[in-house]
Chain A
Amino acid sequence: MLKRLAVAALSLPLALSLNNAANAEGLDELPPELAAAYEGVDEGQPVGPSKYRDWTPRSGPPWKIGYASSYAGNTWRAEGMTRLMDVMLPQYKEAGLVSEVKVTQSDLNDARQIQQIRQLVDEGVDAIIICCSNPVALNKAVKYAYDKGVVVFSYSGYLTSDFALNASSNYTDGGYQIAKALIEEVGGKGNFLLVSGIPGAASSESFDTGARRALEEFPDAKLVGQVAGNWTDQVAQTEVQKFLATNPAKIDGIIAQGSQETGILKAVLQSGRDVMPISLAGSAGAACYLKKNPGWISHAFQIWPPGDEMELGFNSVIRTLQNQGPKVQSILRPVYRVEAADYVASLPEDCSIDSTAYIQPGIDIWFDNERAAGYFLRPKDPLE
Chain B
Amino acid sequence: MTQILHHLRGQFSHLIVPAGLVAVLLLICAFRSPQLFSAVGAAGAILVSAPLILAAMAITPIAMAGRGGVDLSIGPAIGFINVTIVTWLTSWGFESPVAVFVFAIVVGCIWQILLASMIVFVRVSPIIVSLAGFMILSGVNLVILPRPGGLAPDWLSDWGYGTELFSPVLFVLIAAFVLWFLFQRTAMFQHIRLMGADEKTAYTVGININVVRFAAHLSAGVLTGLAAVCLTGLIGSGDPSQGNTLTLQAITALVLGGTSLAGGRGGVVGSILGAIAMYLIFVVLSSFDFGAISGFMTQMSYGLILVLSLLLTLVATRPKPAAV
Interface set of A (CB-CB < 8 Å, partner B): 44, 69, 71-73, 78, 81-82, 85, 100, 102-105, 107-112, 114-116, 118-119, 122-123, 134-137, 139-141, 143-144, 199-202, 204-205
B283 touches A119 (CB 8 A): yes
B52 touches A205 (CB 8 A): no
Residues of B within 8 A of A139 (CB): 160, 236
- Mask for B27-66, Cβ within 8 A of A = 1, else 0? 0000001010000010010001101100000000000000
Interface residues of B in 226-259 (CB under 8 A from A): 231, 234-237, 239-242, 245
The answer, among B48, B151, B290, B291, for a CB contact under 8 Å with A111, is: B48
Stretch at the interface among B17-25, B123-131, B140-148: B140-148
A44 touches B149 (CB 8 A): yes
A78: nearest residue on chain B (CB-CB)?
A: B292
Per the bound structure, the CA–CA distance linking A205 and B295 in Å amounts to 25
Per the bound structure, the CA–CA distance linking A95 and B68 in Å amounts to 60
Q: Label chain B's interface by main secondary structure.
A: helix
A108 touches B235 (CB 8 A): no
Per the bound structure, the CA–CA distance linking A123 and B283 in Å amounts to 12
> Interface centre among B151, B162, B295, by most A CB within 10 Å?
B295
Residues of A within 8 A of B245 (CB): 107-109
A205 touches B146 (CB 8 A): yes
Residue pairs across A and B with Cβ atoms less than 8 A apart, 14 shown, are: A69-B295, A81-B292, A105-B294, A107-B245, A110-B234, A110-B242, A111-B49, A111-B235, A115-B286, A119-B283, A135-B237, A136-B148, A139-B160, A143-B161
Interface size counted on chain B using CB atoms at 8 A: 44
Interface set of B (CB-CB < 8 Å, partner A): 33, 35, 41, 44, 48-49, 51-52, 142, 146-151, 157, 160-163, 231, 234-237, 239-242, 245, 279, 282-283, 286-287, 289-292, 294-296, 298-299
Residues of A within 8 A of B290 (CB): 103
> Interface centre among A82, A116, A200, A204, by most B CB within 10 Å?
A200
Residues of B within 8 A of A73 (CB): 295
Per the bound structure, the CA–CA distance linking A108 and B150 in Å amounts to 19
A202 touches B148 (CB 8 A): yes
A200 touches B241 (CB 8 A): yes
Residues of A within 8 A of B295 (CB): 69, 71-73, 105, 107
The answer, among A44, A71, A115, A140, for a CB contact under 8 Å with B160, is: A140
Once A110-B234, A111-B51, A143-B161 are accepted as A-B contacts, the answer to whether A137 and B286 lie under 8 Å apart by CB is no
Per the bound structure, the CA–CA distance linking A211 and B295 in Å amounts to 33
B239: nearest residue on chain A (CB-CB)?
A: A134
Give 7 A-B pairs besides A111-B231, A122-B33 with Cβ atoms closer than 8 angstroms. A69-B295, A103-B291, A115-B286, A116-B286, A136-B150, A136-B151, A199-B142
B41 touches A134 (CB 8 A): no
A44: nearest residue on chain B (CB-CB)?
A: B149
Residues of B within 8 A of A204 (CB): 147
B146 touches A199 (CB 8 A): yes
A123 touches B287 (CB 8 A): yes
Per the bound structure, the CA–CA distance linking A108 and B245 in Å amounts to 8
Residues of B within 8 A of A82 (CB): 292
Per the bound structure, the CA–CA distance linking A202 and B146 in Å amounts to 9
Once A105-B298, A111-B51, A115-B44 are accepted as A-B contacts, the answer to whether A140 and B236 lie under 8 Å apart by CB is yes
Once A72-B295, A105-B294, A139-B160 are accepted as A-B contacts, the answer to whether A200 and B286 lie under 8 Å apart by CB is no
A136 touches B236 (CB 8 A): yes
A134 touches B148 (CB 8 A): yes
A134 touches B237 (CB 8 A): yes
Per the bound structure, the CA–CA distance linking A72 and B296 in Å amounts to 8
Per the bound structure, the CA–CA distance linking A112 and B298 in Å amounts to 11
Residues of A within 8 A of B279 (CB): 115
Per the bound structure, the CA–CA distance linking A174 and B279 in Å amounts to 39
Residues of B within 8 A of A81 (CB): 292
The answer, among A72, A116, A119, A140, for a CB contact under 8 Å with B157, is: A140
> Interface centre among A111, A115, A116, A204, by most B CB within 10 Å?
A111
Per the bound structure, the CA–CA distance linking A143 and B162 in Å amounts to 11
Residues of B within 8 A of A105 (CB): 294-295, 298
Residues of A within 8 A of B147 (CB): 200-202, 204-205
B161 touches A140 (CB 8 A): yes
Give, as a whole number of angstroms, the nearest-CB distance from A214 to chain B: 19
Give, as a whole number of angstroms, the nearest-CB distance from B276 to chain A: 13
Residues of B within 8 A of A199 (CB): 142, 146
Per the bound structure, the CA–CA distance linking A109 and B146 in Å amounts to 17
Per the bound structure, the CA–CA distance linking A242 and B285 in Å amounts to 40
Per the bound structure, the CA–CA distance linking A72 and B290 in Å amounts to 13
Give, as a whole number of angstroms, the nearest-CB distance from B180 to chain A: 22
The answer, among B41, B160, B161, for a CB contact under 8 Å with A122, is: B41
Give, as a whole number of angstroms, the nearest-CB distance from B66 to chain A: 31
Give, as a whole number of angstroms, the nearest-CB distance from A4 to chain B: 13
Residues of A within 8 A of B52 (CB): 111
Residues of A within 8 A of B236 (CB): 136-137, 139-140
> Interface centre among A82, A104, A202, by most B CB within 10 Å?
A104
> Interface centre among B49, B157, B289, by most A CB within 10 Å?
B289
Give, as a whole number of angstroms, the nearest-CB distance from A235 to chain B: 15
A114 touches B234 (CB 8 A): yes
Per the bound structure, the CA–CA distance linking A219 and B171 in Å amounts to 57
Per the bound structure, the CA–CA distance linking A44 and B282 in Å amounts to 31
Per the bound structure, the CA–CA distance linking A325 and B8 in Å amounts to 65
Residues of B within 8 A of A103 (CB): 289-292, 294
